[in-house]
DNA sequence: AATTTATTTGATAATGATTCTCATTTATAA
DNA sequence: TTATAAATGAGAATCATTATCAAATAAATT
């Protein structure tokens, strides 16, 4: 039941626009897929609560509303959403994949390994340096993963107090 | 038998210093572990051939020399080596972990998704920008993952020819 | 509304990577 | 040598994810 290795418990809930069912219906149609209750529930789950969720977490949220939904459906739809770019898969180390509704702006992540806080940042300098590196090697860049790991201020403070 | 998703077949073999068994013996002792033939074989496997190998690949190389070695031993020792920093674990997307003898200089990776070529690069500007980002969020940076994905010149050319 | 049909679903099995268990073997210190 | 804690290997276990397939169903067509 418990996931292996590091867990990422507390993440602040990010303020988000109102859940817009008809927009989600539209996205599903764009993908040439059928609109089902399950798929709307999955969207709902992605839209509320913490921004970066695992497939299991999505499954649990969906399952709480409709106990009949199977996790295969969740995995399957998350995969489609990722392929179409509506959802972005984020992988940190050997942990299980996390998903977020693809944000308007590209960003990368800074994760606290003590408390699981995830901060999002965008840094155009880094982005263009990446392009430059790729060009130097004659590569056409298609994607990248930039994940920073460390300890946030609160956790660093807490550790100091203890010792 | 075949690994899932993308395979990384061709990687240029990187020129390396002579295999120095006594140095490896010393490293093992530094870790407070016992020197065994298996462990020396694993070091040998990491030292020859392509730079970034999976546990399975290490196992196969070791197994070719001594068919009695079990894969648990390989995984176990790779883990110890990683914990002590003698080996660096590199994870690319959802693929299985790859390992390399920790290089003298830190570097990140640029991977061709068509042919599997892996280029290593170091970019101090990016590194220090990462530090700056972490500092802005009040984080103490402990590690990071920067993996660039794309298509190398050869593969891009090959694709153009085909179409 | 009823019919049709290609999709979707959920239960379950299968997979691939990695880790764990434990009885047996072995490196090393005394 | 002998003692002993550590290491090993075979296989089971785990975890995340994907595949299979019969039954259910969205949506297009009568
Ligand atoms: Zn980025
Ligand atoms: Zn994010
Ligand atoms: Zn780096
Ligand atoms: Zn490398």
Domain boundaries, chain B: 16-103, 105-163
CA A62/CA A24 separation, integer angstroms:
16
pLDDT for B101 beyond 90: yes
Q: What is the mean pLDDT of residues B5-28?
A: 73
A79-131 pLDDT per residue, tens: 999 999 999 999 887 889 999 999 999 999 998 888 778 899 999 999 999 99
| Sequence-ordered list of residues with C-beta below 8 angstroms from that of B72, at least 6 positions apart, any chain | none
pLDDT for A41 beyond 90: yes
pLDDT class for B6, splitting at 50, 70, 90?
very low
| Sequence-ordered list of residues with C-beta below 8 angstroms from that of A157, at least 6 positions apart, any chain | none
Nearest CA in chain B to A119: B137
CA A109/CA B163 separation, integer angstroms:
38
Question: In DSSP terms, which residues pair with B101 in a beta bridge?
Answer: B87
Q: Which residue has the higher pLDDT, A156 or B160?
A: A156
pLDDT class for B5, splitting at 50, 70, 90?
very low
- What's the CA A96/C1' C24 distance, rounded, in angstroms? 36
Q: Which residue has the higher pLDDT, A17 or B82?
A: B82
What pLDDT sits at residue A4?
A: 30
> How many A from CA of B146 to the centre of ligand 3?
6
The topology under which CATH files domain B105-163 is Dna Ligase; domain 1 (3.30.1490)
pLDDT for A6 beyond 50: no
- Report how far apart, in Å, the C-alpha atoms of B43 and of each of A2, B48, B98 are: 34, 9, 14
B37-75 pLDDT per residue, tens: 999 999 999 998 888 999 999 999 999 999 999 999 999
| Domain B16-103: assigned CATH number | 1.10.10.10
- What's the CA A1/C1' C11 distance, rounded, in angstroms? 19
pLDDT for A44 beyond 80: yes
3-class secondary structure, A80: helix
Q: Which two tokens stand for residue A47?
A: 């839209």
> How many A from CA of A121 to the centre of ligand 1?
8
Residue indicated by tokens 């240029």: B12
Bases in strand D with any atom closer than 7 Å to a protein CB: 6-12, 14-20, 25-27
Q: Which residue has the higher pLDDT, B74 or B14?
A: B74
CA A86/CA A106 separation, integer angstroms:
13
What pLDDT sits at residue B134?
A: 97
């Amino acid at each position: 039941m418990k996931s292996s290795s590091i867990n990422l418990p507390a993440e602040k809930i990010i303020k988000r626009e109102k859940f817009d069912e008809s927009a989600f219906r539209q996205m599903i149609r764009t993908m040439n897929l059928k609109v089902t209750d399950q798929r709307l529930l999955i969207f709902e789950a992605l839209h509320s609560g913490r921004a970066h969720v695992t497939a299991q977490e999505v499954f649990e949220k969906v399952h709480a509303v409709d106990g009949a939904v199977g996790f295969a459906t969740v995995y399957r739809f998350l995969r489609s959403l990722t392929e179409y770019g509506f959802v972005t898969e984020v992988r940190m180390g050997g942990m299980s994949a996390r998903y977020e509704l693809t944000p308007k702006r590209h960003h990368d992540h800074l994760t606290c390994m003590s408390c699981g806080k995830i901060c999002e940042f965008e840094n155009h300098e880094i982005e263009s340096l990446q392009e430059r590196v790729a060009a130097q090697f004659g590569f056409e860049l298609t994607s990248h993963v930039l994940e920073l790991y460390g300890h946030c201020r609160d956790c660093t403070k807490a550790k100091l107090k203890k010792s």
